[in-house]
């Protein structure tokens, strides 16, 4: 684990060096490496000392601010921190918390990242999100399924399309300190009055809810999750989440359950397309279905009218 953390520190340093702000040249006595990998990131202010204080000093130095890099965060260092905060649109406070940490750690280019990618840019992303409070994100420099799950949570909180991928807009918000974990903390639900009966869901709605959570995942031939799907793999696992077993085949799924007319479709019903029953999707209301289309595409919504309808079934 120690070797991984040292590698992470070296990688993120390279990124920081390559993206020095246009505020001025880094002073000659700037530290050559910022050790920035921590389990949690503490707020830094004047009087803070130790490894995290030094990391904040180092990151600011590499961003073009003349801080000392000695592990003793001074009042002068705090003033430079306030200048950095102001430069990215934050209140010019003399305190570096989650917003400042994540903005400093994410500085640099804004490459498109997705599952399967690896390298210093993925590591820079992971460190920035860890410092922003997303403690479940791994810091390994590999864009894993765990990383994609955190990205989807952030995208939901930021009202972005839940693709599980990182684009320039995502980087822009991260570099401006606009993404922190407190924005996605789910509040404890208030207990419902005893007099009210609990809301029930059909199996079809449970299946549809599962499919919605896979939106943005890639199509992979013969795959049935967790990070890629073909059409019948998605419908099979969606209905399995509702407690119903289906075969991994659109043609065989067509022979299971109750036949449903197009006018009586309900959420989660299986809708089949193309002569020979070559494609299956889950009905999502208003003439839409969710499906895994074909290689090169991702799980998405589509209007039923765009594909040749062959019938529908309700497995349970």
Integer Rg of the chain from CA: 25
Which among 131, 59, 127 is positioned nearest to 98, based on CA atoms? 131
- Whether residue 291 lies in the annotated active site: yes
C-alpha 272, offset from chain centre: 31
Confidence of residue 22 (pLDDT cuts 50, 70, 90): very low
d(C-alpha 77, C-alpha 188), whole Å: 39
Verify whether residue 231 is a known catalytic residue. yes
pLDDT digits (tens, 9 = 90+) for 225-281: 888 999 999 999 999 999 999 999 999 999 999 999 999 999 999 999 999 999 999
How far is it, in rounded angstroms, from Cα 294 to Cα 297? 6
pLDDT at 202 over 50: yes
- Distances in whole angstroms, Cα of residue 77 to Cα of each of 91, 132, 225: 16, 21, 49
Name all domains of the chain by residue range, CATH numbers in brackets.
1-186 (1.10.101.10), 203-314 (3.90.1720.10)
Catalytic entry in 34, 61, 291, 294 = 291
Pick from 159, 73, 145: which is nearest to 115 by CA? Answer: 145
Over the stretch 118-142, which tens digit does the pLDDT of each residue have?
999 999 999 999 999 999 999 999 9
pLDDT digits (tens, 9 = 90+) for 276-296: 999 999 999 999 999 999 999
Is a pLDDT exceeding 90 seen at residue 17? no
CA atoms within 13 A on the CB side of 234: 37
Catalytic residue among 34, 58, 61, 231: 231
Per residue in 59-105, pLDDT tens? 999 999 999 999 999 999 999 999 999 999 999 999 999 999 999 99
pTM of the model: 0.52
For residue 275 the two structure tokens come to 């002569």
Plot region of 234 (φ>0 → left; ψ -120 to 50 → alpha; else → beta): alpha
């Amino acid at each position: 684990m120690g070797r991984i953390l040292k590698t992470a520190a070296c990688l993120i340093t390279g990124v920081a060096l390559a993206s020095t702000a246009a505020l001025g040249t880094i002073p000659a006595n700037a530290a050559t490496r910022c050790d920035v990998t921590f389990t949690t990131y503490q707020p830094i202010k004047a009087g803070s000392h130790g490894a995290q204080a030094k990391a904040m000093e180092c990151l600011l130095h590499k961003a073009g601010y003349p801080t000392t890099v000695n592990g003793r965060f001074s009042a002068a260092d705090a003033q430079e921190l306030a200048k950095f905060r102001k430069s990215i649109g934050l209140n010019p406070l003399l305190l570096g918390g989650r917003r400042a940490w994540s903005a400093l750690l994410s500085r640099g280019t804004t490459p498109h990242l997705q599952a399967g990618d690896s390298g210093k840019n993925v590591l820079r992303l992971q460190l920035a999100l860890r410092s922003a409070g997303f403690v479940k994100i791994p810091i390994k420099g590999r864009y894993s399924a765990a990383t994609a799950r955190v990205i989807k949570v952030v995208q939901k909180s930021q009202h972005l399309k839940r693709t599980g991928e990182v684009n320039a807009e995502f980087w822009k918000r991260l570099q401006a300190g606009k993404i922190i974990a407190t924005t996605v903390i789910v509040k404890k639900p208030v207990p419902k009055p005893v007099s009210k009966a609990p809301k029930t869901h059909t199996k079809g709605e449970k299946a549809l809810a599962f499919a919605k959570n896979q939106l943005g995942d890639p199509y992979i031939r013969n795959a049935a999750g967790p990070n890629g799907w073909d059409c019948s793999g998605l419908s099979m696992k969606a209905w399995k989440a509702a407690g119903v077993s289906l075969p991994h085949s659109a043609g065989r799924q067509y022979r299971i359950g109750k036949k449903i007319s197009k006018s009586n479709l309900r959420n989660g019903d299986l809708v089949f397309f193309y002569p020979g029953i070559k494609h299956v999707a889950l009905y999502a209301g208003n003439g839409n279905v969710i499906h895994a289309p074909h290689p090169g595409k991702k799980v998405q919504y589509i209007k039923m009218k765009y594909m040749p309808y062959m019938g529908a079934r309700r497995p349970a």
